[in-house]
Amino acid sequence: MGRSGGGDDIEGWNRALCSGRVVAFCPNNHEVHIYKFFGEKWERIHVLQKHDQIVSGIDWSIKTNKIVTVSHDRNSYVWNQEASEWVPTLVILRLNRAALCVQWSPKENKFAVGSGAKTVCICYYEQENNWWVSKLIRKKHNSSVTSVAWHPNNQIAQLDLSFTWAFGVRWSPSGNTLAYAVVAFCPNNHEVHIYKFFGEKWERIHVLQKHDQIVSGIDWSIKTNKIVTVSHDRNSYVWNQEASEWVPTLVILRLNRAALCVQWSPKENKFAVGSGAKTVCICYYEQENNWWVSKLIRKKHNSSVTSVAWHPNNILLATTSTDGKCRVFSTFIKGVDSRDSGLNFFPWKGSGSGASGDVKFGEQIAQLDLSFTWAFGVRWSPSGNTLAYAGHNSMIYFIEDVGSSPKAQNVALRDLPLCDILFVSEKMVIGVGFDCNPMIFTSDETGLWSFVKFLDERKIEPSSSKYGSQLSEALGKLYGQSKGANSDTVESSRLRGGAHENCISCIIPLRKPGESVVRRFSTSGLDGKVVIWELDNSIGIPQ
């Protein structure tokens, strides 16, 4: 039987390897399970138990039949199969942080380990002493090494970049069949990087360099395949793909403060930009002059506009702002929008504003005063009937029937606030934020929204306190007593085992064409990671 593939990341939880009909993976704990396919089903044949913390990397060498495992406990074991047992050999890596990834070299005489100690360990077998020696590459890395890859010549370990922040992530329209083919994001600087997934790993294919300051918002239109970027330099560029290059077109926004967020409209003929200048720019393409024109909504906002969201009818725009309010505006533009597209949304406006019934550009339809704190992450439900946004006071607000008789629900969160939300279906919302863990909210038959659970099930060790050592130390000082989590048990571990280690700032859906319910989405955060999540069938999505 041939080998089917190398290390494959599944949802960031398990590391799995396929060697014909045998699989080795870590079920998100400190063990490694090996399963074999017998006839019709999978049976567990071995459990490798030696690590103390989650096993973060596994690699199985083809020719020499050795398994190497690395773990957050900063150790590595090389497992040899003797008779029917797997026997571990400790490899002292000399790390003071978790090991994150491992790979055998092509000749399988060395393996590379990436770690959170900003080092890479190259380990090789010393015959005389009958042990594995580790040599460290300490230089150059400024942060955790997230993945390693060997060049076929066995000599150069080509190391992946370690980003400090991944700012805005957008997915390309194509390539949702096998893997997530292309992603564009800003690695906390003034560029936009586009990566493509070739078979087994990510490769950077384009770098879009035009902005002078950090790129704060990116959106990639599905049908027209255009990328719009906005930046703190108060400019916006629309990028068109010509041949194999991305060509930018400047859009003059007429802002005197940074642009903060951007979104293409559903018909992709307009895009909205929120800014720190308390304005929202609606930009559309003028065919005659072959350029993008920007119209400003200057009224109403008292502070920075943090997030914008288009209603499915391509006319209404919801905005959230740091003045705590969520507003809905009309962005009807003569010549761009057709007259009858927005009519059915304004039943209460019908009699007042004349026969045509269309609402002027920039007119505020509704203002929601539910939160007294900064508001983020506004989104419409797929039908446009429900609006939801997150407040910085650990609340999430759901407003039904915005068009006719708005009914608001305030859901208080137990933990830290959310930064962004996503409507997976009409009745299910996923929120992400400072808890580093996506939260599921659903609406029941009566229309009542509530928190269901966290998406990332982490193992919480019984000994450590609920909040992790850093917070419990602080709380311990506050309460002036020695808590249960005293200095002996306060290891360097925080709540580990989760996909994200820092605030999640952004959540984007990965839509399969023709699918109305979102089953896959990506989250990106301040830890520099982009994680792809798939809602499996155990989580029923109410529609």
- What does the binding site for other proteins look like in residue numbers (CB under 8 A)? 368-370, 372-373, 391-395, 408, 412-417, 466-467, 475, 478-480
Between 105 and 307, name the residue whose CB sits nearer to other proteins: 307
Between 222 and 460, name the residue whose CB sits nearer to other proteins: 460
The C-alpha angle with vertex 115 and arms to 113 and 118, in degrees rounded to 5, equals: 120
Between 205 and 475, name the residue whose CB sits nearer to other proteins: 475
CA–CA dist 416, 394 (Å, integer): 6
Minimal distance, residue 395 CB to other proteins, in Å: 7
| Cα 272 to Cα 42, 261, 420, distances in angstroms | 51, 8, 17
Minimal distance, residue 287 CB to other proteins, in Å: 42
**How is the chain split among helix, strand and coil, in percent rounded to 5?**
5, 45, 50
Number of residues assigned to the chain = 543
| Cα 489 to Cα 29, 483, 493, distances in angstroms | 19, 11, 10
Minimal distance, residue 374 CB to other proteins, in Å: 8
Minimal distance, residue 478 CB to other proteins, in Å: 7
Between 28 and 465, name the residue whose CB sits nearer to other proteins: 465
Between 56 and 505, name the residue whose CB sits nearer to other proteins: 505
CA–CA dist 424, 519 (Å, integer): 7
Terminal-residue alpha carbon distance, the chain: 44
Question: What's the CA dihedral at 62, 68, 70, 74 to 10 degrees?
Answer: -150
Minimal distance, residue 288 CB to other proteins, in Å: 44
CA–CA dist 484, 475 (Å, integer): 12
Minimal distance, residue 442 CB to other proteins, in Å: 19
Between 227 and 326, name the residue whose CB sits nearer to other proteins: 326
Q: Which of 261, 391, 366 is nearest to 316 (CA)?
A: 366
CB 364 within 8 A of CB 349: no
Minimal distance, residue 304 CB to other proteins, in Å: 17
In eight-state DSSP terms, residue 337 is B
Between 357 and 433, name the residue whose CB sits nearer to other proteins: 433
Between 197 and 467, name the residue whose CB sits nearer to other proteins: 467
Phi first, then psi, for residue 148 (nearest 5°) are: -130, 150
Number of H helices, E strands in the chain: 1, 42
Minimal distance, residue 372 CB to other proteins, in Å: 4
Between 209 and 367, name the residue whose CB sits nearer to other proteins: 367
Between 284 and 467, name the residue whose CB sits nearer to other proteins: 467
Q: Which amino acid is at 529?
A: K
CB 311 within 8 A of CB 327: no
Please give the helix or strand (H or E) that residue 291 lies within, else none.
Answer: strand 291-297
CA–CA dist 109, 125 (Å, integer): 7
Between 10 and 412, name the residue whose CB sits nearer to other proteins: 412
Question: What's the CA dihedral at 399, 402, 406, 409 to 10 degrees?
Answer: 0
Minimal distance, residue 393 CB to other proteins, in Å: 4
CB 271 within 8 A of CB 224: no
Please give the helix or strand (H or E) that residue 36 lies within, else none.
Answer: strand 31-38
Minimal distance, residue 371 CB to other proteins, in Å: 9
CA–CA dist 381, 365 (Å, integer): 18
Minimal distance, residue 326 CB to other proteins, in Å: 11
Between 283 and 419, name the residue whose CB sits nearer to other proteins: 419
CA–CA dist 333, 146 (Å, integer): 47
Minimal distance, residue 484 CB to other proteins, in Å: 12
CA–CA dist 182, 175 (Å, integer): 7
State whether the Cα torsion 162-168-174-177 is positive or negative.
positive
